[in-house]
Amino acid sequence: MTDTKTQTSPASDSGSISDGRRKRSERSKHKIAEAMIGLIMEGDITPSAEAVAERAQVGLRSVFRHFKDMDSLFHEVSKIMRAEYEPQALKITPGKDWSEQLQELIQLRTKVLDKLMPMQQSTFVQRHRSRFIQDEIARTNKLLRTTMLEILPQDLAENTELVEALDAALSPAAWMRLRLDQGLSQAKARKTVEYMVAALVKPQT
CATH topology for 16-67 is Arc Repressor Mutant, subunit A (1.10.10)
According to DSSP, residue 93 is labeled P
Contact indicator for 103, 194 with CB cutoff of 8 Å: yes
Q: What residues have CB less than 8 Å from 72, skipping those under 6 apart?
A: none
Q: What residues have CB less than 8 Å from 109, skipping those under 6 apart?
A: 89, 144, 170
pLDDT of residue 2: 47
pLDDT of residue 172: 94
73-111: pLDDT as tens digits: 899 999 999 888 887 777 787 878 999 999 999 999 999
Contact indicator for 160, 152 with CB cutoff of 8 Å: no
pLDDT of residue 187: 97
pLDDT of residue 1: 47
The residues spanned by each domain of the chain are 16-67, 83-205
Q: What residues in the chain have per-residue pLDDT under 70? A: 1-18, 20-21, 203-205
